[in-house]
Amino acid sequence: MRSPLAYLLLTRLKNQVLSWLKSPAKLLYLLFIGAMLTMVVFSGRPDTAMNPARRDIRELTAGLFALYLLLFVLLARRGFGQGASLFRLADVNLIFAAPFRPRSVLFFGLIQQMGQSLLLGLFLLYQFGWMRQLYGVSLPALLVILFGYALTVFSAQLTAMVLYSLTSGNDRIHTGLKFAFYGLLVGYGGYVLIRLLADPEHVLDVLVTAGNSTTTRLFPVAGWISALVAGFVMKDRWLALAGFAACLAFLGLLVITVTRVRQDFYEDVLLTTESNHNAITARKEGRLEDAAPRRVRLGKVGLNKGSGASAFYFKHVVENRRSRVLLLSGQSLIFIVMVLAVSFFMREIGLLGVFAFSSYIQIFSVSLGRLNRELLKPYIYLVPEPPFAKLLHSLRESLGSFFIEAALLFVPLALLLRASPLSCALCILARVSYAYLFTAGNLLTERIFGAGTSKVLIFFFYFLLLTFLALPGIVLAFLAGTETGALLALLGANVPVALLVLFLCRNILQTAELNNR
């Protein structure tokens, strides 16, 4: 008889595939994603002889090391707090209590986690276009970069689990390992800083050289994974093999630690699995900022202002204050850093090109904000105020963050690209106009679909709708000819379109359904 755990893994997979086939919307979406991927990968394949890579490939490998390191540190450090889990709540309830050997359960969790880690990195495939154009990256090399990403997530999760198992309940080991973990990071930071101080004129060159140095290649986990990837990308077989061997040895050591040193690991993952489950539920309900299971600083208590519909706005102010990192949400800050980092490498395409890229990324970062969450609770429907007033006051909280986000993005970009203050100001305004255009698109999607329709179909429609709403601005910008003219054209088109959509959706709260069935 087949192992029940293998049966569970395969049945889950089979049911997942069947659910795609049974839902036309999901299938359509998958086909769309597949078609997009195929287009990105195969369209306009450059003749490498005609279009040689424009930049040094070592920039990419150094950047990948930074990405893997950041990811590894962020995930693995959870081992000093709540720990990490390879399991879902259903696993805890059904498998942990069943008569399986803990070692079998651990391997079940490991295989499950491997699949998830790979899925998490799929977004990298969409980066093929610029990687190929700038660095001449081939498709197999991209797949290895994706593998490196998945390996980083997987190793970090397992490291966090082992760190938690070893340190929970033992302060001495906890302090010692934490010291070693952060000590290594500080040491590496010091190494890069010394090299930077030695040659402050050539920051990029120094960072690239440091990111490809032997010290970096020897740096635990992220260094080994980047060695594996860099070896493949730069066709250095021995480097790739050495990186791979180091990763395998490390993972083997982690598995031995769990299975030999701490066989009873159930307790260690219980709390984290529950926290993860709550966080996933919160994300599904659109409570992104509230999903992180962290301590909340209460600060000043009380709304202190607001009456009728405006009470929603002042409530949002309090909620935002307790959810944000500095002035923006953690998610917004990540998007800003990401756009700034990519723009640094793409600076040749100029301010407008960077603006277009940042607007594309903005599609993923703009949502209805707190209104999304309000739609899942009964109060916004129950409060006896006109629906348009409730709508406007629920959207009000976003304005400040849209401006701050735009300024945090375009002031440094303008300095980097040596753009004029006027262009910088116009970029900020145009970005805010896009934010409201996308918000309007969100509202219209909600107005048309409301509750009860496939989320995949909604997502698909949402993208089509945003393209349609943004089209007038894009066409006018192309016709404008100059940079200033294009930005003014975007502003001139986006603002009326957003206002029109908002007006058309004014009664959304009168007709919407509580969407939490």
Q: Which residues bind other proteins (CB under 8 A)?
A: 282, 287, 290, 296, 298, 301-303, 306-309, 311-312, 314-315, 318-319, 322-323, 376-379, 381-386, 450, 452, 510-511, 513-514
Kindly state the smallest distance separating residue 450's Cβ from other proteins, in Å: 8
* Residue 373 beta carbon to other proteins: minimum distance, rounded to whole angstroms: 8
Q: What is the dihedral of CA 209, 210, 213, 215, to 10 degrees?
A: 170
* DSSP secondary structure string for all residues of 370-396: HHHHHTTSSHHHHSSS-HHHHHHHHHH
CB-wise, 114 or 457, nearer to other proteins?
457
To other proteins, the closest distance from the beta carbon of 323 in angstroms equals 6
Return the number of the residue (1 or 298) whose C-beta is nearest other proteins: 298
In 3D, which of 185, 110, 91 has the Cα closest to residue 153?
110
Smallest gap, in angstroms, from Cβ of residue 308 to other proteins?
A: 5
Tell me how far, at minimum, the Cβ of 387 lies from other proteins, in Å. Answer: 9
Q: Which one, 227 or 509, has the nearer CB to other proteins?
A: 509
Tokens standing for residue 132: 């190929």
Q: Which is nearer to other proteins, 370 or 431 (CB)?
A: 370
The burial of 447, by beta-carbon neighbours within 10 Å (0-12 exposed, 13-18 middle, 19 or more buried), is given as: middle
Burial of residue 168 (number of CB atoms within 10 Å: 0-12, 13-18, 19+): middle
Q: Give the residue with the Cβ less far from other proteins, 309 or 336.
A: 309
Distance CA 230, CA 249 (A): 19
Give least dist CB 442 to other proteins, A.
20
C-beta of 88: minimal distance to other proteins in Å?
Answer: 21
Distance CA 168, CA 313 (A): 42
Phi, psi of 168 (to 5 degrees): -65, 130
CB of 79 to other proteins, least distance (A): 24
Nearer to other proteins, 199 or 513 (CB): 513
- In degrees, to the nearest 5, what angle opens at C-alpha 162 toward C-alphas 83 and 331? 40
Nearest approach, Cβ of 94 to other proteins (angstroms)? 23
Cα separations in angstroms, 403 against 426, 432, 470? 12, 6, 19
Nearer to other proteins, 450 or 485 (CB): 450
Pick 236 or 319: Cβ nearer other proteins: 319
CA 492/CA 237 separation, integer angstroms: 55
Select 113 or 445, whichever has its Cβ closest to other proteins: 445
Tokens at 513, concatenated: 């359904």
Minimum CB separation of residue 105 from other proteins in Å reads 29
Q: Which is nearest to 270 in space by CA: 49, 15, 82?
A: 82
Q: Read off the DSSP letter of residue 54.
A: S
Nearer to other proteins, 155 or 273 (CB): 273
CB under 8 Å to 47, separation ≥6 — which residues?
none
User: Which of 488, 380, 474, 390 minimizes the C-alpha distance to 430?
Assistant: 488
Q: CA 36, 456, 150: angle at the middle one, nearest 5? A: 60
Q: Among residues 3, 127, 176, 138, which one has the least CA distance to residue 57?
A: 138
Q: How many CB atoms lie within 10 A of CB 371?
A: 26
- For residue 419, the SS3 value is coil
